[in-house]
Amino acid sequence: MRPCLSGAFGKGERLDMGKNDLGQVVARVLVCLVSALLSDIPAYSFGEALAWVRFPLFVMASAFWLAKDRRVFTAMILMSFIGLMVMLGILTAEILLS
């Protein structure tokens, strides 16, 4: 069993996050930042990408710290994903209208 970041779940229901999972998160963030640097307006794109990194980080941190049950954790992640999709829709509309 991999080490657990949160002791909030009951026996056998603990949420595990190993080094490989953290490496994947870091790799995805780096891909976003590098692709921002390769855009047409690198300084602006990098600043925007860096600012958006905090949202998924906040979602995962709050889910790990506040969720006392697997169902609550799943609901928190689902609602955060829906909120992210709404924000993505708003951002897309802003881009298309400007």
| pLDDT tens readout for residues 47-80 | 888 888 887 778 777 777 777 788 888 888 898 8
> Which token pair is 95?
């881009």
> Domain-by-domain residue ranges, the chain?
17-52, 54-98
More confident residue, 21 or 16: 21
- Confidence at 4, pLDDT banded by 50, 70, 90: very low
Specify the DSSP class assigned to residue 15.
P
Locate tokens 């906040």: which residue?
58
Q: For the chain, what is the mean pLDDT?
A: 78
List 94's β-bridge partners, or say none: none
More confident residue, 97 or 72: 97
Task: Please tell me the distance from the alpha carbon of residue 45 to that of residue 32, in angstroms, as a whole number.
Answer: 10
> Which token pair is 37?
């640097």
Q: Are 77 and 66 in contact (CB under 8 A)?
A: no
